Copies of this chain bind each other. A is one copy, B any other.
Amino acid sequence: SINSNRLLDRLQELGQMGVDNDKKRTRLAASDTDKAGRDLLVIWMKEAGLEVEIDRIGNILGVWYGAENRKKAPLLLGSHIDTVINAGMYDGCYGVLAGLEVITTLKEKGFMPTRPIAVAAFTNEEGVRYQPDMMGSLVYAGGLSVDDALSAIGTDGTRLGKELERIGYAGTKEPGFLKPHVYIELHIEQGPILDKLGVPIGAVENLQGITWQRITIEGVANHAGTTPTEMRRDAGLAAARVITYLRDRANNSNGSTVATVGTIDFKPNAVNVIPSMATFTVDLRNPNEQRLQEEEQALAGYLKELAASEGVSITSEQLVRFNPVTFDQTIVKLIEQVASDHGLQSTRMTSVAGHDAQMIARICPTAMIFVPSIDGISHNPKEYTKDLDLILGANVLLNVVSQLTGK
């Protein structure tokens, strides 16, 4: 089994990177705090004797080429170490550090793999600063050109390419330079299912679709006191109507659709001025592609009606659109088998969060292992997974990897 203390200590240590004076942890992609996390990871990869490669989109790969088989396609493990704003400690980091831990353990035990084993930390999985999310893995899988990705403009007006240069992580390798044989990502569930069931291992068999839009509503600025209600063309009110409409749709979807408006901005943003402009993001998800399209169409129809009824104009820009993905059945079954060999209950499940595995599944057989998140809290500093569950998950991963690369 893996070295539990090393894994848990490193999770804590990496978790301290990007903690501010208010004790809030934020490591947005390609920021100074992301650099601090990356530097630490690279040190640990080198300590483990891995060859560290940085590609042009800033993905970090630590490769154990093994003794005699360095030309074979590697088994790839990984996840990401960037975070949302005021984040938890486990999202992404667990998969990267557990991957590193598995390789280190195998090396230490004198394991002789049939192919290289590598661990990746993909750039900008969260998509909070630059869109789309899962960007590093998407580029790695060839779904987005490196140059387009590097030109992404962040919420703070920065350009990703410049920021990667600034923090010293604009590498030279072409993304995808190592085509994986198989990709496996270990991750906290982030949702409540495993915790509620009391089951320690999720064998993730598919992943729901995600669409992100930025919606801009233009109304007419006018005086808060003098403008009769029927003359108002209030961009802020129209935005509020969209938010409640989306919630109604989610409520009527039998739990299959989730909808979130996470960001908003009014202009001119003055207490006694009717907003002339409201800009906000919509995050819509459904595990079924057809249902996701229905949601998108319903929203588009509603925006049209609303523009007419409120006398505003509405435009929408697609930031992200990822189809639902089905993982490789053979690997999913192997995960179940290994869990059962360890005497652990497992359940097949759908990932309702986006993950790098969703992108890498385009280029190789892929699956994910989930461990429970207490109360299903994530993207929140209260995100928590018990040490024991972290260790169980990493040991399942260790065993899956050794079965896939053993003689």
Could you tell me which A residues sit within 8 Å of B by CB distance? 84-86, 126-128, 131, 133, 189-192, 208, 210, 212, 220-231, 234, 236-237, 239-241, 243-244, 247, 250-251, 255, 258, 260-266, 268-276, 281, 283, 285, 319, 352-354, 373, 376-380
A271 near B223 with CB under 8 A, answer no
Give, as a whole number of angstroms, the nearest-CB distance from A21 to chain B: 16
Complex copy number for this chain: 2
Q: Is the CB of A225 within 8 A of B274?
A: no
Q: Which of B126, B239, B240 lies in contact with A272, CB distance below 8 A?
A: B126
Contact of A378 among B222, B251, B378 (CB under 8 A): B222
Determine if B237 and A247 form an interchain contact, defined as CB atoms under 8 angstroms apart: yes
Give Cα A210–Cα B223 distance, bound, in whole angstroms: 13
Q: Which residues of B contact A377 (CB under 8 A)?
A: 220, 222
Q: How far is the CA of A230 from the CA of B254 in the complex (A)?
A: 11
Determine the distance from Cα of A31 to Cα of B109 in the docked complex, in whole angstroms.
Answer: 68
Task: Judge whether A225 and B262 touch: CB under 8 Å.
Answer: no
Taking a contact as CB atoms closer than 8 A, the residue among B225, B270, B380 that contacts A221 in the complex is B380
Mostly, the A contact residues are loop
Contact residues in B for A353 (Cβ distance below 8 Å): 223, 225-226
> By the criterion CB–CB under 8 Å, are B273 and A269 in contact?
no
Residues in B neighbouring A255, C-beta threshold 8 A: 228-230
Most chain B Cβ neighbours within 10 Å, of A210, A221, A378:
A221
Which among B210, B222, B264 is the interface contact of A264 at CB below 8 angstroms? B264
Decide if A224 touches B258 in the complex (CB within 8 Å): yes
A189 CA / B380 CA spacing, docked (Å): 49
Pull 15 A–B residue pairs with CB atoms less than 8 Å apart, ordered by A.
A84-B272, A84-B273, A85-B270, A128-B271, A189-B226, A224-B285, A225-B258, A226-B373, A228-B376, A230-B255, A236-B262, A237-B261, A240-B261, A262-B272, A272-B354
Q: How far is the CB of A22 from chain B (nearest CB, A)?
A: 12
A223 contacts B270, C-beta separation under 8 Å = no
